[in-house]
Structure 1
Amino acid sequence: MQGQKQGFFEQPHAATYLLIALNVAVFGMMTLRTGAAAPAGRDLWQAGALYPLVLPRGEYWRLVAHGFLHANPMHLFTNMLCLALWGGHLERRVGATYFIVIYAIALLAGGFVSLATHHGPYLSVGASGAVSGVLGALFCLWILGKVELGASFFIINIGLNITLSLSTRGVDWGAHLGGFTAGLVACAVIDLIERGNARVFACKFPEGLKLNVLILAVVGPMAAAPFAPPIPATPAAFALAAGIVLLALTVAVKAIDLVLTRRHGLAIAAFILALPNTVAALAIFDRLAETICAASGNAPALAALCSHAGLLPTLGAAAMLALSLGLSTRSIAKGVTDLGFVAPGLRGERRRRLGL
C-alpha cells in the first residue's frame, strides 16, 4: 500500500461529506421518530423502503428514498465508511458535479436491479448500490488509466464487496451489482461526453458553475412544470418533451461557454446563473406556500408572513439570490479582477485535458 503512486486513503471532499451528512441526518430522524436505533420493517416501508410493488404502483420516489434509509447503526456505519474511503478518491478526480451524477445513477440502477432480482415479499434499504457505484466508477478510471491507484486497491475493495454480498445474510447483492455496474458505465459515458465537449465547448467550466447548471437542469423543469402545457401520457410525447429540455439545456450551456470566453466572463456567468436560480426559487416557494402556511401551526413569525399574499415566495427568492451570489463570491472576485488571464486559462484547460 505504501508503494502506490496515490495513497490507499484519500480525505473526503465537500460532496462526499454532504452525502454522509444527509444519510446520518435521515437515520437520526428515523431514530427520533421510531424511538429505536433499528427501525421496524413497517417504519422503513412507510419511510420509503423498496418492496416488490414499487413499479406496479408507480411509487418511483422509493428508488431514491431507500438509499438514505438504513436498518441499524452498523449498516449505516459500513456504508458511510466505504463512501468516505472511495468517495474521496472519485470526487478528487472527477469533481463534485460528476461525482453526484454517478452517485445518483448508481442509486437508481441499484434499486432497479434489486427489484428485478427479488421475488416474493422483501424490503430493501441502504446506500449500498450508490456506494458500490462509486467503486465502479473508480474501477472505470483505473481501466482508462486516469487514476493513480494500484491494483491492490481494487483487489481488496472489490473482493470484500463480493465476499460481503455473497456470505452475509440479508445483504442485497442485486443492489451492489447493479450500482457497481452503473457506476462503471456512467463514468465511461461521462468520459466520452467530456471528449466530445472538447469539440463543442471552448472553455472548461469551473466546478461551481458546472454544479449550478446541474441543479438547474434538475430543479428547473420541476419548477416550470405547473406553467407548461399538459403532456399526453404517451412515450412519444415524453420523448419529445425530454428532447426539448435537453436542447434548451445545451443552448444555455453553450451560451455560458461563450460568456466565459470573454474578459470578466466568469463574473458575468455567475450573475447570469443567479437569475434562473432566483426564478426557480420563486416558482417553488409559490407552489409550496400554501402547504408551508398550513403547517405553520403556532409559529407567529411564519403566520405573519403567510398573512401577506406573495411575501413568502418573494422572501424565498431573495434568499436564493443572496445565496447564489454569496456562494459565487470567489468566481465573481476572480472575474472582476480579470486582466485577460481567466478566459485563456479556461480555454487552455479544455485543450489540455481530453476526457475526464
Structure 2
Amino acid sequence: MFVRNERSIKEFMQLYPVVSWLVIIHLVLWLLTGFIQTPIGNLIEGWGKGVNFLISQGEYWRLVTPIFLHSNLMHALFNSFALVLFGPALEQMLGKPKFIVAYMGAGLAGNIGTFLFGPAIYAHVGASGAIYGLFGIYVFMVAFRKQLIDQSSSQIITTIFIIGLVMTFIRPGINMYAHVFGFIGGFAIAPLVLNNVRPYAPWLHRRYRDDRSVQFDPNRWQKKQRNKNMFKYGLWIILGILVVLGLFGRVF
C-alpha cells in the first residue's frame, strides 16, 4: 500500500489530488510566513497558531488553521513526507470527499484535545494531529478490517505507530495532545468512512499508453520484483533515519 509506483509527479498529482494540494499548501504557507506580517507578528503568530488562551477568547478558527501551518521547513517537509507516504492509499480507497472529512476531522480532534487538556498558554502548529488520524484509520483496519490491508502494510503501520507513540512521550517540543487525540479521532471516524470501500488497487486508475517501441523483456518480472524489494529496503532505511532524527535531533 505504501510502495509508490507512479511514473512522475504529474501522474501522482492526477491520481491523488487531495494529498498533492495539501503538500502544496504546507509549503506555500511556510514560504508566505516570512512575507506576511500582521500587527502582532508573522502569519503564524498573528492569525494561524493554535493558542489556547486566544481560542478561549473566541478565536475558534485557531482550531483549524494550525493543521496547515508549520514552524519551520523541516517541520513542513517531515509532515509532507508522511502525508505522501501514507495518504495516497486512503485517498483512493475512501474517495476525495471522505478523505478530506477524515483528515480534517482528525486534525480538528487533535486541536480540540490540545485546547481542552493543554495548558492555558499552550501554542502549537502542524499537521501531525491529522496525520496521526490517518494512522488511526490504518490501525482500525489492522484490528477490524483485515481484508482491506495486506500483511506487509499491517506490519509497517504497527511498527511506525509504536515508534511514533514512544517518540510522542519521550521527545520535547511535540504536541502530544494533537498526536493522541488526532489518532483517537481517526480511529473513531474509521468505521464511518470505511463503509463500502475496496482494498487499495493503484492500477485501477493508471493511464497506460501503447508504446510500440517497447520490446519484450523476458526478465521483466524479476526486475520488477527486484525494484520492489529495493524500494522496501529503502523505505525502512528512510524510516530508520527519521527515527534517529526524532530521537537525537529536533525535527520540530
**TM-score normalised by L of structure 1:** 0.48
What is the CA-CA distance between 1:86 and the residue it aligns to?
0.7
Structure 1 ranges of 4+ moved more than 4 A: 6-12
Note if 1:182 corresponds to 2:193. no
For the pair shown, which has the larger CA radius of gyration, 1 or 2?
1
What is the CA-CA distance between 1:131 and the residue it aligns to?
1.1
Residue matched to 2:33: 30
Residue matched to 2:155: 152
Residue matched to 2:126: 126
Identity within the alignment, %: 25
Note if 1:20 corresponds to 2:23. yes
Structure 2: 5+ residue runs without aligned partners?
7-11, 198-252
Note if 1:51 corresponds to 2:54. no
1:1-356 matches, cutoff 5 A = 6-9=1-4, 13-33=16-36, 42-43=41-42, 44-143=44-143, 144-145=145-146, 146-150=148-152, 151-191=154-194, 194=196
* Residue type at the aligned position of 1:125: V
- Check conservation: 1:132, 1:176, Cα contact below 8 A: yes
Q: Distance in 1 between matches of 2:70 and 2:119?
A: 21
Q: Distance in 1 between matches of 2:161 and 2:48?
A: 28
Residue matched to 1:257: none
Q: Distance in 2 between matches of 1:22 and 1:7?
A: 22
Q: Distance in 2 between matches of 1:119 and 1:135?
A: 26
Aligned residues: 183
- Check conservation: 2:55, 2:63, Cα contact below 8 A: no
* Residue type at the aligned position of 1:30: T
Structure 1: 5+ residue runs without aligned partners?
1-5, 35-40, 196-356
- Check conservation: 1:110, 1:130, Cα contact below 8 A: yes
* Residue type at the aligned position of 1:18: W
What is the CA-CA distance between 1:177 and the residue it aligns to?
0.8
Q: Distance in 2 between matches of 1:84 and 1:20?
A: 8
- Check conservation: 2:107, 2:133, Cα contact below 8 A: yes
Measured at CA, do residues 42 and 117 of structure 1 come closer, stay the same or move farther in structure 2, by a change above 3 Å? farther
* Residue type at the aligned position of 1:28: L
Measured at CA, do residues 159 and 42 of structure 1 come closer, stay the same or move farther in structure 2, by a change above 3 Å? farther
Q: Distance in 1 between matches of 2:170 and 2:41?
A: 26
- Check conservation: 2:111, 2:129, Cα contact below 8 A: yes
| Alpha-carbon RMSD | 2.2
1:53 match: secondary structure: helix
Greater shift, 132-141 or 70-79, is seen at 132-141
Q: Distance in 2 between matches of 1:10 and 1:129?
A: 27
What is the CA-CA distance between 1:42 and the residue it aligns to?
4.6
